[in-house]
Amino acid sequence: MTQENKPRYAADLMGGQVALVTGSGSGMGRATALEMAGCGARLALFARREEPLEETAEMIRAMGGEAFVVTGDTRDEDTIEAAMLKIKALRPAGRAGEQRRRAIRSGGARYLQQRVRGGDPQQPDRFLADDPRGGGSFHV
């Protein structure tokens, strides 16, 4: 994956933001993570396999950025929760109001599911399951 050397966005565009990028071990996820790092964001790299994520993290550190790796599966609520806690820990004390965290997701919707009223994170498959009213999570 090649990253253009010439930045398209300002180097401080995402300063103060933490970005969780799923699938950032390769392809579009990696390209997004690298460019975000070039915009001043701190990166939480999330995917199932650790090795490609570490490669991405090394690339980011080599360009002077900050990144950490969280392995997990977007279908597994526990791993998503662990990633979010790690991101939370990054926020400097006393600056809570200033710092806005950004979570970037590609693919599944399970993290959001647990936030939705009535959602059951233990049964993620019900999210797109056979409920004719539109899925187990969205009863209104």
Partner 1 sequence: MFDNGGSVVFVTAISARSALTGFAHTVAARAGVTGMIKTLAAEWGEYGIRLNCVALGTIKTEALGRYPITPEQWQMLNRSVLNRMGAAEDISGMIIFLASKLGGFITGEDVYVDGGETLHLGHDAWDMINPELFEKRKRGDGKD
Strand order of the β-sheet with 101-104 is 67-71, 42-47, 18-22, 101-104
Rule CB under 8 A: choose which of 49, 78, 90, 107 binds partner 1. 107
Task: Give the nearest distance from C-beta 12 to partner 1 in angstroms.
Answer: 10
Establish if 110 lies at the interface with partner 1 (CB under 8 A). no
Tracing tokens 């991405």 back to the chain, one arrives at 56
Establish if 96 lies at the interface with partner 1 (CB under 8 A). yes
CA angle 67/60/29 to nearest 5° reads: 80
Question: Can you say how many angstroms the Cα of residue 66 is from the centroid of all Cα atoms in its chain?
Answer: 14
Please identify, using beta-carbon distances, which residue of 36 and 69 lies nearer to partner 1. 36
Binding region for partner 1 (CB under 8 A) out of 56-64, 71-79, 98-106, 118-126? 98-106
Establish if 100 lies at the interface with partner 1 (CB under 8 A). yes
- CB atoms closer than 10 angstroms to residue 140: 6
Q: What sign for the dihedral angle of Cα 105, 111, 116, 120?
A: positive
Query: H-helix or E-strand containing 19?
Result: strand 18-22
Q: Where are the beta strands (DSSP E) in 23-100?
A: 42-47, 67-71
Rule CB under 8 A: choose which of 58, 128, 129, 139 binds partner 1. 128
User: For residues 31-90, which are near partner 1 according to CB under 8 A?
Assistant: 31-32, 34-36, 39
Q: Give the residues lining the site for partner 1 (CB under 8 A).
A: 1, 3-4, 8-9, 13-14, 17, 19, 26-28, 30-32, 34-36, 39, 96-97, 99-107, 109, 112, 115-116, 128, 135
